Amino acid sequence: MSFSLMRWASLVMLGMQASQVFAISQISAVGAKFFNSSGDQFYIKGIAYQLSDNDPLVNEAQCKLDAALMKELGANTIRVYHVDPDGDHDGCMSAFSDAGIYLFVDLETFNSAIDQSAPHWNSTMLNAYTKVLDTFHGYDNLAGVFVGNEVLTMTNGSWAAPYVKAAARDVKAYRDSKGYRQIPVGYAAADIADLRPMLQDYLACSTNSSEDLDFFSLNAYEWCGDNTFTGSGYSELQKNATGYSIPIFFSETGCNTSPPRTFEDQSAIFGSDMADTWSGAIIYEWIEEANNYGLISYGPSVAATATGTNIVGGYTRGGTPTPVSPDFSNLKSVWATLNPTGVALSAYSASASKITPLACPAETSGIWNVNPTAALPTVGQTADASGTGSSGTTTGGSTGTASGASSTATSSKGAAPVGIVTPGSAGATSAVVIYGVLVGFTGLMAWWL
Ligand SMILES: *[C@@H]1O[C@H](CO)[C@@H](O)[C@H](O)[C@H]1NC(C)=O
Ligand SMILES: *[C@@H]1O[C@H](CO)[C@@H](O)[C@H](O)[C@H]1NC(C)=O
Ligand SMILES: *[C@@H]1O[C@H](CO)[C@@H](O)[C@H](O)[C@H]1NC(C)=O
Ligand SMILES: *[C@@H]1O[C@H](CO)[C@@H](O)[C@H](O)[C@H]1NC(C)=O
Ligand SMILES: *[C@@H]1O[C@H](CO)[C@@H](O)[C@H](O)[C@H]1NC(C)=O
């Protein structure tokens, strides 16, 4: 080989190496599973990440520090609840991409989330959602977006479900009209035993896929401490998800009521019990704060009243992350043993095209007040209380007070407590679940105030 040819060849190889190092494969939803661009099934090993309330994806140096430790943990995904669409996210998105880490991001902002106490969907909200999509669609490591987080938390909240579905319909139509890739659009549900099976089916039951979500996910804290697939209630989650037509995963999990956390549930999710149906899990959460779910901390807690750079609510939020022991190493060891390969797209795509949606759930007065054959709300529509059965009667008086709680429910702090049900209570009575929700809301309000 002549010198110049050799040089040319090594330049080409360098170029190939560079693209192998820096490119991350895009994720798409096919049938009920996620795949990467080489047709391998993608399982989420995720971490909820909300270092700063407004946007944790604008500080590149911080993202690099966190991404490096997440890679060591074995994570391949983060979930972020709030971003500022006007921020510059290039540095953080590259930092995570370089570490092989994908992003699922919530599109709703603090004042554009769908509100179960007075459901409506309008152009202001749609514009806020699509602005976030515009900002993030170009990043190859954007794995998916949420049109809502725990919008329905009360047993009388079912009338908000069509508004979640309308939001997904319009975000998908916008995505397609702009020629963006098929970025999966989904929803993160609170684990409310009375609503979950119906909501899950409803969001994917249309025969017109433009009106279905691209994925469904669940914030579930059913498995605490030493437990089993059956004892935890996960076997019921599995039953409900069998035959589901879109990908399903845990958008939050990691009960902390029996410390230390051993993350045993991951073995069920990524093992033979569930891995054929579920696409992985996002652990709540990266940072240590008052709710005590942290996998890392940035130093010892400080006085609750302390102020200063990066200090929020008695915790430092920035700097070098230090593993919280033994939770961090427990999760790392568990994840290291769990590497399902799933199914190859080439073997799956024929059956995927034959999956039919489950039936839309029937209307059940007082629980599921959604007409299965009604058209979805249009932009500008507001829910009509007269059509919702018993839950509608109190709407007028409650709207003002409830909306504060509802908007905080989409914050990272609120996300965990709201969905909590007691261990083994997949069939819990509504009293228990409502109690959990109220406790969650009280905590939320306390944080918000
Ligand atoms: C897709 O995922 C598989 C399994 O994790 C991996 O080996 C492969 O490199 C990925 N494809 C691309 C193009 O990154
Ligand atoms: C849409 O609803 C939000 C409240 O959720 C409100 O702030 C906004 O003004 C409404 N926009 C329109 C066009 O009605
Ligand atoms: C499917 O739904 C979309 C969005 O609502 C609508 O624009 C389209 O006309 C529907 N297609 C059919 C065949 O009904
Ligand atoms: C879904 O789970 C609930 C318990 O949470 C159970 O009562 C119901 O029968 C399940 N439905 C299906 C279709 O598996
Ligand atoms: C739902 O129930 C809660 C708690 O009982 C109540 O405060 C709220 O007003 C109800 N919401 C609607 C829309 O009826």
Highest mean pLDDT among 266-275, 298-307, 386-395: 266-275
Question: What mean pLDDT comes out for the span 366-376?
Answer: 95
Beta-strand pair 142-149/28-30: unpaired
Q: Please, which pLDDT band fits residue 262 given cuts at 50, 70 and 90?
A: very high
Write the DSSP assignment of 160-189 as a string of letters. GHHHHHHHHHHHHHHHHHTT-----EEEEE
User: pLDDT: is 397 or 250 the higher one?
Assistant: 250
Look at residues 254, 315, 318, 250 and name the one whose alpha carbon lies nearest to residue 285. Answer: 254
Per-residue pLDDT band for 329 (boundaries 50, 70, 90) equals: very high
Ligand 1 centre distance from Cα of residue 299 (Å): 36
Residue 448 reports pLDDT greater than 50: no
Check if 325 has its Cβ closer than 6 Å to any atom of ligand 1: no
Spacing, Cα 123 to ligand 2 middle (Å): 7
Which mutation among 108, 115, 125 tests ligand 2's pocket best, with the greatest number of atoms within 8 A of CB?
125
Atom 10 in ligand 4: residue holding the nearest Cα: 240
pLDDT at residue number 449: 25
Distance of alpha carbon 204 from its chain centroid, rounded? 16
Check whether 6 has a pLDDT greater than 80: no
DSSP alpha helix (H) spans, 337-429 = 345-352, 395-408, 412-418
Range in 62-76, 216-230, 251-265, 372-386 with the lowest mean pLDDT: 372-386
Out of 112, 122, 170, mutate this one to test ligand 2's pocket (max ligand atoms within 8 Å of CB): namely 122
Residue nearest to atom 4 of ligand 1 (CA): 40
Residues 156-173 have a mean pLDDT of 97
Q: What is the pLDDT, as a whole number, of residue 170?
A: 98
What residues line ligand 4, using a CB cutoff of 6 Å? Answer: 193, 197, 236, 239-240, 426-427
Question: Average pLDDT for residues 141-145, to the nearest whole number?
Answer: 98
- Radius of gyration in angstroms for the set of CA atoms belonging to the chain, rounded to a whole number: 22
Q: How high is the pLDDT of residue 308?
A: 87
Higher pLDDT, 251 or 18: 251
Q: What is the pTM of this model?
A: 0.86
* The pair of three-digit structure tokens given for residue 241, joined into one six-digit string: 């998800």
From the CA of 393, give the closest atom in ligand 5. 14
Q: Does residue 154 line the site of ligand 5, with CB under 6 A?
A: yes
Comparing 123-127, 241-245, 389-393, the range with the smallest average pLDDT is 389-393
- Reported as a pLDDT band with limits 50, 70 and 90, residue 387 is low
Q: 332-350, pLDDT tens digit by residue?
A: 999 999 999 999 999 999 9
Tell me if 36 CB under 6 Å of ligand 1.
yes
- What pLDDT, on a 0 to 100 scale, did the predictor assign at position 12? 45
Distance CA 301, CA 322 (A): 13
Least confident of 302-306, 323-327, 440-444: 440-444
Could you give the CA distance from residue 180 to residue 266 in angstroms, rounded to a whole number?
A: 33
| pLDDT > 80? residue 11 | no
> Which atom of ligand 3 sits closest to the CA of residue 376?
5
**At residue 352, does pLDDT exceed 50?**
yes
Domains (range + CATH), the chain: 28-353 (3.20.20.80)
pLDDT surpassing 60 at residue 135? yes
Residues marked as catalytic = 150, 252
pLDDT one-digit tens code per residue, 19-35: 444 589 999 999 999 99
CA of 16 to the centre of ligand 2 (A): 49
CB 148 within 8 A of CB 163: no
Ligand 3 site, residue 115, Cβ cutoff 6 A: no
Is a pLDDT exceeding 60 seen at residue 435? no
Average pLDDT across the chain, whole number? 85
Q: Give backbone dihedrals phi and psi of 2, rounded to 5 degrees, phi first.
A: -65, 160
DSSP state of 332: H
Q: What percent of the chain has pLDDT over 70?
A: 81
And the tokens for 92?
Answer: 């953080």
- pLDDT of 116-132, one tens digit each? 999 999 999 999 999 99
The whole-number average pLDDT for the span 250-256 is: 98
* CB-based contacts of 284, cutoff 8 Å, min separation 6: 48, 219, 252, 253, 254, 293, 415, 416
Residue 386: what pLDDT? 66
pLDDT at position 22: 55
Query: Of all protein residues, whose CA lies closest to atom 3 belonging to ligand 3?
Result: 210
pLDDT in tens, 173-225: 999 999 999 999 999 999 999 999 999 999 999 999 999 999 999 999 999 99
